[in-house]
A and B are shown apart, each in its own frame.
With several copies, the nearest count.
Chain A
Protein backbone atom coordinates (compact mmCIF):
# COMPACT_ATOMS: atom_id res chain seq x y z
CA UNK A 1 0.00 0.00 0.00
CA UNK A 2 1.35 3.40 -0.94
CA UNK A 3 -0.02 6.91 -0.35
CA UNK A 4 1.62 9.90 -2.04
CA UNK A 5 0.74 13.60 -1.64
CA UNK A 6 2.81 15.90 -3.83
CA UNK A 7 2.70 19.08 -5.87
CA UNK A 8 4.74 17.62 -8.75
CA UNK A 9 3.01 15.86 -11.66
CA UNK A 10 3.05 12.06 -11.59
CA UNK A 11 3.57 9.70 -14.51
CA UNK A 12 0.22 7.91 -14.75
CA UNK A 13 1.34 5.34 -17.31
CA UNK A 14 4.42 4.42 -15.32
CA UNK A 15 2.56 4.30 -12.01
CA UNK A 16 -0.29 2.22 -13.48
CA UNK A 17 2.13 -0.19 -15.13
CA UNK A 18 4.32 -0.56 -12.05
CA UNK A 19 1.23 -1.20 -9.94
CA UNK A 20 -0.24 -3.77 -12.33
CA UNK A 21 3.01 -5.66 -12.76
CA UNK A 22 4.12 -8.29 -10.30
CA UNK A 23 0.83 -9.07 -8.56
CA UNK A 24 0.46 -12.66 -9.76
CA UNK A 25 -2.13 -13.51 -7.11
CA UNK A 26 -4.37 -10.65 -8.23
CA UNK A 27 -6.17 -11.14 -11.51
CA UNK A 28 -7.94 -7.80 -11.38
CA UNK A 29 -6.42 -4.31 -11.41
CA UNK A 30 -8.58 -1.17 -11.44
CA UNK A 31 -7.31 2.39 -11.76
CA UNK A 32 -9.16 5.67 -11.50
CA UNK A 33 -7.64 8.93 -12.67
CA UNK A 34 -9.06 12.39 -12.09
CA UNK A 35 -8.24 15.02 -14.70
CA UNK A 36 -8.74 18.81 -14.54
CA UNK A 37 -11.61 19.36 -16.95
CA UNK A 38 -12.73 22.56 -18.58
CA UNK A 39 -16.40 21.91 -19.23
CA UNK A 40 -17.62 25.49 -19.54
CA UNK A 41 -14.50 26.69 -21.35
CA UNK A 42 -12.27 29.47 -20.04
CA UNK A 43 -10.71 27.60 -17.13
CA UNK A 44 -7.20 28.89 -16.63
CA UNK A 45 -6.13 26.78 -13.69
CA UNK A 46 -7.26 24.57 -10.84
CA UNK A 47 -5.71 25.42 -7.48
CA UNK A 48 -5.73 22.69 -4.86
CA UNK A 49 -5.14 23.48 -1.19
CA UNK A 50 -4.65 20.78 1.40
CA UNK A 51 -3.93 20.23 5.10
CA UNK A 52 -0.38 18.85 5.33
CA UNK A 53 -0.16 16.04 7.84
CA UNK A 54 -3.89 15.40 8.06
CA UNK A 55 -4.04 14.69 4.31
CA UNK A 56 -1.52 11.86 4.46
CA UNK A 57 -3.14 10.44 7.62
CA UNK A 58 -6.65 10.56 6.12
CA UNK A 59 -5.58 8.94 2.84
CA UNK A 60 -3.63 6.23 4.68
CA UNK A 61 -6.65 5.44 6.83
CA UNK A 62 -9.03 5.32 3.83
CA UNK A 63 -6.67 3.11 1.85
CA UNK A 64 -6.12 0.82 4.83
CA UNK A 65 -9.86 0.38 5.26
CA UNK A 66 -10.26 -0.50 1.58
CA UNK A 67 -7.44 -3.07 1.75
CA UNK A 68 -9.01 -4.75 4.77
CA UNK A 69 -12.61 -4.68 3.63
CA UNK A 70 -11.96 -6.09 0.14
CA UNK A 71 -8.88 -8.20 0.99
CA UNK A 72 -6.85 -6.27 -1.55
CA UNK A 73 -3.36 -7.43 -2.37
CA UNK A 74 -2.37 -3.80 -2.87
CA UNK A 75 -3.70 -0.26 -3.11
CA UNK A 76 -2.22 3.02 -4.33
CA UNK A 77 -3.32 6.63 -3.84
CA UNK A 78 -1.55 9.60 -5.42
CA UNK A 79 -3.01 13.10 -5.00
CA UNK A 80 -1.54 16.40 -6.11
CA UNK A 81 -1.91 19.88 -4.67
CA UNK A 82 -0.89 23.30 -5.98
CA UNK A 83 -1.73 24.87 -9.33
CA UNK A 84 -2.79 22.57 -12.18
CA UNK A 85 -3.65 23.36 -15.81
CA UNK A 86 -6.67 21.92 -17.69
CA UNK A 87 -5.87 18.40 -18.85
CA UNK A 88 -3.43 17.73 -16.00
CA UNK A 89 -4.02 14.75 -13.77
CA UNK A 90 -5.12 15.60 -10.24
CA UNK A 91 -4.95 12.16 -8.68
CA UNK A 92 -5.12 8.45 -9.19
CA UNK A 93 -6.06 5.39 -7.19
CA UNK A 94 -5.33 1.77 -8.04
CA UNK A 95 -6.53 -1.49 -6.49
CA UNK A 96 -5.40 -5.09 -6.96
CA UNK A 97 -7.70 -7.99 -6.04
CA UNK A 98 -8.37 -11.57 -7.04
CA UNK A 99 -11.76 -10.78 -8.53
CA UNK A 100 -12.92 -7.81 -10.53
CA UNK A 101 -15.91 -7.04 -8.31
CA UNK A 102 -13.63 -6.41 -5.32
CA UNK A 103 -11.16 -4.33 -7.32
CA UNK A 104 -13.98 -2.15 -8.71
CA UNK A 105 -15.80 -1.72 -5.40
CA UNK A 106 -12.63 -0.89 -3.50
CA UNK A 107 -11.65 1.74 -6.09
CA UNK A 108 -15.11 3.32 -5.89
CA UNK A 109 -14.93 3.31 -2.10
CA UNK A 110 -11.52 4.99 -2.20
CA UNK A 111 -12.86 7.65 -4.54
CA UNK A 112 -16.03 8.29 -2.54
CA UNK A 113 -14.10 8.76 0.71
CA UNK A 114 -11.29 10.70 -0.90
CA UNK A 115 -13.84 13.13 -2.43
CA UNK A 116 -15.51 14.04 0.86
CA UNK A 117 -13.20 12.99 3.71
CA UNK A 118 -9.68 13.91 2.61
CA UNK A 119 -8.77 17.53 3.36
CA UNK A 120 -8.42 18.99 -0.13
CA UNK A 121 -10.13 22.11 -1.44
CA UNK A 122 -10.30 23.07 -5.09
CA UNK A 123 -10.51 26.54 -6.58
CA UNK A 124 -11.18 27.26 -10.24
CA UNK A 125 -9.42 30.23 -11.80
CA UNK A 126 -11.01 31.85 -14.86
CA UNK A 127 -10.70 35.27 -16.51
CA UNK A 128 -13.53 36.40 -14.19
CA UNK A 129 -11.59 35.53 -11.05
CA UNK A 130 -11.25 32.55 -8.74
CA UNK A 131 -14.02 30.54 -7.14
CA UNK A 132 -13.95 27.74 -4.58
CA UNK A 133 -15.55 24.54 -5.84
CA UNK A 134 -18.60 23.73 -3.70
CA UNK A 135 -18.98 20.23 -2.27
CA UNK A 136 -21.79 18.36 -4.01
CA UNK A 137 -24.59 16.69 -2.06
CA UNK A 138 -24.33 13.72 -4.43
CA UNK A 139 -20.75 13.15 -3.27
CA UNK A 140 -21.75 13.21 0.40
CA UNK A 141 -24.67 10.88 -0.35
CA UNK A 142 -22.32 8.46 -2.11
CA UNK A 143 -20.81 7.57 1.28
CA UNK A 144 -24.11 6.11 2.49
CA UNK A 145 -23.78 3.01 0.36
CA UNK A 146 -20.67 1.76 2.19
Chain B
Protein backbone atom coordinates (compact mmCIF):
# COMPACT_ATOMS: atom_id res chain seq x y z
CA UNK B 1 0.00 0.00 0.00
CA UNK B 2 1.34 3.44 -0.90
CA UNK B 3 1.23 5.89 2.00
CA UNK B 4 1.64 9.60 1.23
CA UNK B 5 2.33 12.51 3.57
CA UNK B 6 1.78 16.20 2.90
CA UNK B 7 2.67 19.55 4.48
CA UNK B 8 3.86 19.30 8.11
CA UNK B 9 3.03 15.58 8.28
CA UNK B 10 5.56 15.07 5.47
CA UNK B 11 8.08 17.26 7.28
CA UNK B 12 7.73 15.47 10.63
CA UNK B 13 7.98 12.01 9.12
CA UNK B 14 10.73 13.16 6.78
CA UNK B 15 9.49 11.67 3.54
CA UNK B 16 6.72 12.32 1.03
CA UNK B 17 5.69 8.72 0.40
CA UNK B 18 6.58 5.14 1.18
CA UNK B 19 5.31 1.62 0.58
CA UNK B 20 3.86 0.09 3.77
CA UNK B 21 3.15 -3.62 4.28
CA UNK B 22 0.23 -3.82 6.67
CA UNK B 23 -2.61 -6.04 7.84
CA UNK B 24 -4.51 -3.02 9.17
CA UNK B 25 -8.27 -3.29 8.67
CA UNK B 26 -9.02 0.42 9.07
CA UNK B 27 -7.23 3.75 8.75
CA UNK B 28 -7.00 3.97 12.54
CA UNK B 29 -5.36 0.52 12.66
CA UNK B 30 -2.81 1.75 10.14
CA UNK B 31 -2.18 4.86 12.25
CA UNK B 32 -1.54 2.60 15.30
CA UNK B 33 0.94 0.54 13.26
CA UNK B 34 2.77 3.65 12.09
CA UNK B 35 2.87 5.22 15.57
CA UNK B 36 4.78 2.18 16.86
CA UNK B 37 7.49 2.47 14.24
CA UNK B 38 9.53 5.46 15.40
CA UNK B 39 9.27 8.63 17.44
CA UNK B 40 8.83 10.79 14.30
CA UNK B 41 5.73 8.77 13.35
CA UNK B 42 4.38 8.95 16.90
CA UNK B 43 4.88 12.74 16.78
CA UNK B 44 3.19 13.14 13.41
CA UNK B 45 0.20 11.03 14.45
CA UNK B 46 -0.02 12.25 18.07
CA UNK B 47 -3.39 13.94 17.49
CA UNK B 48 -5.43 12.52 14.63
CA UNK B 49 -8.11 15.18 15.11
CA UNK B 50 -5.52 17.57 13.61
CA UNK B 51 -5.21 15.30 10.56
CA UNK B 52 -7.22 14.40 7.48
CA UNK B 53 -7.00 11.22 5.43
CA UNK B 54 -7.72 10.36 1.82
CA UNK B 55 -8.19 6.82 0.46
CA UNK B 56 -7.40 6.51 -3.23
CA UNK B 57 -7.62 10.33 -3.44
CA UNK B 58 -11.05 10.61 -1.80
CA UNK B 59 -11.46 12.18 1.64
CA UNK B 60 -12.39 9.53 4.21
CA UNK B 61 -12.89 9.00 7.94
CA UNK B 62 -10.34 7.41 10.24
CA UNK B 63 -12.64 4.43 10.90
CA UNK B 64 -12.94 3.69 7.15
CA UNK B 65 -11.92 0.16 6.05
CA UNK B 66 -8.79 -0.31 3.95
CA UNK B 67 -10.15 -3.21 1.81
CA UNK B 68 -8.94 -2.78 -1.76
CA UNK B 69 -7.33 0.60 -1.06
CA UNK B 70 -4.07 1.20 -2.93
CA UNK B 71 -3.16 4.71 -1.78
CA UNK B 72 -3.57 6.31 1.65
CA UNK B 73 -2.64 9.96 2.23
CA UNK B 74 -2.31 11.81 5.55
CA UNK B 75 -2.26 15.60 5.78
CA UNK B 76 -3.38 18.57 7.87
CA UNK B 77 -6.67 20.38 7.17
CA UNK B 78 -6.50 21.92 3.72
CA UNK B 79 -5.87 25.62 3.13
CA UNK B 80 -6.64 26.24 -0.53
CA UNK B 81 -8.07 29.30 -2.21
Measuring CB to CB, which residues of chain A are less than 8 angstroms from any residue of chain B? Answer: 34, 49, 51, 53-54, 57-58, 79, 90-91, 100, 111, 114-123, 132-135, 140
5 smallest A-B Cβ distances: which pairs?
A: A135-B77, A120-B80, A54-B57, A121-B7, A115-B81
Contact among B6, B8, B81 with A119 in the assembled complex (CB-CB below 8 Å): B6
Task: Given contact pairs A51-B4, A51-B73, A122-B80, enumerate 8 new A-B contacts (beta carbons under 8 Å).
Answer: A51-B6, A51-B54, A53-B57, A57-B57, A100-B81, A114-B80, A117-B80, A119-B80
Report B36-63 residues with CB < 8 Å from chain A CB. Answer: 54, 57-59
**Chain B contacts for A57, CB-based, 8 A:** 57
Interface of A, secondary structure class, is mixed
A115 with B79, Cβ < 8 A, contacts A51-B4, A54-B73 known: yes
Q: Which of B4, B6, B76, B79 has the most CB of A within 10 A?
A: B79
**Chain B contacts for A111, CB-based, 8 A:** 81
**A133 in contact with B79 (CB, 8 Å):** yes
A49 with B7, Cβ < 8 A, contacts A54-B54, A121-B75, A132-B76 known: yes
Report B1-38 residues with CB < 8 Å from chain A CB. Answer: 4, 6-8
**Chain B contacts for A51, CB-based, 8 A:** 4, 6, 54, 57, 73, 75
23 residue pairs bridging A and B, Cβ less than 8 Å apart: A34-B81, A49-B6, A51-B75, A54-B54, A54-B57, A54-B58, A90-B81, A91-B81, A115-B78, A115-B79, A116-B77, A117-B80, A118-B78, A118-B80, A120-B80, A121-B6, A121-B75, A121-B79, A123-B7, A134-B77, A135-B76, A135-B77, A135-B78
Q: How far is the CB of A141 from chain B (nearest CB, A)?
A: 13
Q: Which of B54, B58, B77, B78 has the most CB of A within 10 A?
A: B78
Contact among A53, A91, A114, A121 with B76 in the assembled complex (CB-CB below 8 Å): A121
